[in-house]
Amino acid sequence: MNITFGRSASFLISGAVVAHTLWTSAAPAMTYPIYAREWHLSPAVTTGIFAIYPVVVVLVLILSGDISDYIGLRATMLSGLLFSIAGVLLFALGPNVVWIYGGRTLMGVGVGLSATPSAAAMVEFASLRGKSSASAAIAACQGVGLVAAALVGGALIQYAPYPTRSNFWVLFAVLSTIFAFTAGLPRHTPSEEKGPWKIRPVSVPKSLRPVFAVSAFAMSLSYALGAITLSLGAQIAIELVGSTNSLVNGAIIALFSSSSAVVSVAGRKLPPSLAILLGSIACILCGGFLVLSSLSHSLALFTSSMITAGIAYSMLFSGGLGLISAHAPAHHRGGAISALLLSAYLVQGCMAFVLGLLATAAGLTIAIEAGAAVLGVIAFATITLALATGPGRSSAY
């Protein structure tokens, strides 16, 4: 593609790359029960498929978290998309769980490379009046990606032939299209650092650390919530609630994403500190609904937990990202967002892996109760830290 897109088109294309990070992350969620049934896998193995992804993302962020500040947003996003496409292809062709783990690893590399620059690009290409709500737009794009993963995946698994493959062939086509449009983004932006890039530890400037701590707790809480929803959501619907239709289960899980996207737009003018506080409270409520749904086998309570989870995720993500974006200088923005995502993905990977082991050893209900308890502890810590930091620090949004 030989054309270069303008600011508005570049903003939308960057949003599509953001959406791909969540679509790619969530795409296998509806196939975990099928893998478990056909290949006789334990919950530890299926949640391991999910957990290896954030672990790889963390490693990529550690090694190359600020690479987009040096080689450019476009080049980094294109590299990430190539790895994501390769990972999806392994899922589409994979005959056994080894291929699935390989595909998940490549997806992790792809998302690790593209998550930071796509978010930074949306901030970069937002109009001057829209920069203050760019974090809400990013959260909305994530919601779109999750909705697509749940609904498209659920429909194809339930009604299309080859239920473990059709979903990934469609995603392969979508990512290839996004790659073609991403090639038309501006090659360089004013926020790039001068000089060659080299591997260095992800770090946060000392002046940003108090704000970063609040943002990191909020973002980590949102991703911990996502770990429960995406790694165990389909299994909860089937084993505990008794819903066997993949499209119905996908639609319920999509309520998480759609409520997240709606709240992202509706609450885009909320100060980050208030969004973080409200999101933490919603997270505690979500944990309660999830535990009650597993104990009572109630589809209505499970649905309520997904809606509340979406509200919590949106508030926490928008608040955490909005807070750091408002305070980080443009030339440090990529590195700061990478450090933020690093902490979030690390928590997500640990959460998914431990819950998988617990579900295998003690049962899914115990794993859900433990997960809800951990969410409550992190939420309380986030509220405490946000209040201690004070609203004055986070008013710029």
Q: How far apart are CA 10 and CA 364, in angstroms?
A: 43
Place of tokens 């409200």: 278
Tens of pLDDT, residues 37-85: 889 888 788 878 878 888 898 888 777 766 777 778 888 999 999 999 9
Candidate from 157-161, 246-250, 292-296, 379-383 with smallest mean pLDDT: 246-250
Burial 292-305 (b: 16+ CB within 10 A, else e): ebbeeebeebbbbb
Q: How far apart are CA 330 and CA 134, in angstroms?
A: 14
Tens of pLDDT, residues 114-173: 988 898 888 888 765 555 567 778 878 888 898 888 889 889 988 989 988 999 999 999
Tens of pLDDT, residues 344-361: 888 988 888 888 888 888
φ, ψ for residue 127, nearest 5 deg: -65, 160
Looking at domain 7-185+207-394, its CATH class is mainly alpha
Q: Encode 241-260 in three state secondary structure.
A: HCCCCHHHHHHHHHHHHHHH
- Asked if residue 220 lies in contact with residue 343, where contact means CB atoms within 8 angstroms, the answer is yes
Tens of pLDDT, residues 90-111: 999 999 999 999 999 999 999 9
Total Cβ atoms within 10 A of residue 177: 11
- Nearest residue to 29 via CA among 109, 80, 91, 121: 91
pLDDT at 369 over 70: yes
Candidate from 257-266, 275-284, 296-305, 322-331 with smallest mean pLDDT: 322-331
Strands, E assignment, the chain: none
CA pseudo-torsion sign 99, 150, 351, 364: negative
pLDDT score for 277? 95
pTM across the whole model? 0.75
Helix/strand/coil for 166: helix
Q: How far apart are CA 341 and CA 166, in angstroms?
A: 30
- Nearest residue to 74 via CA among 183, 237, 209, 203: 183
Give me 289's structure tokens. 């609904």
The DSSP 8-state label assigned to residue 237 in this structure reads I
Find the farthest-apart pair of alpha carbons in the chain and give their distance in angstroms, rounded.
60
Give me 193's structure tokens. 């650092």
φ, ψ for residue 164, nearest 5 deg: -90, 0
Instruction: Give the contacts of 2 (CB within 8 A, at least 6 positions apart).
Output: none
- Asked if residue 333 lies in contact with residue 120, where contact means CB atoms within 8 angstroms, the answer is yes
Place of tokens 């990191």: 216
List the Cα angle 227/53/99 in 5-degree steps.
125
Candidate from 74-88, 115-129, 196-210, 364-378 with smallest mean pLDDT: 196-210
Instruction: Give the contacts of 253 (CB within 8 A, at least 6 positions apart).
Output: 29, 30, 150, 154, 229, 230, 233, 234, 237, 306
Give me 176's structure tokens. 């290839």
Q: How far apart are CA 167 and CA 42, in angstroms?
A: 23
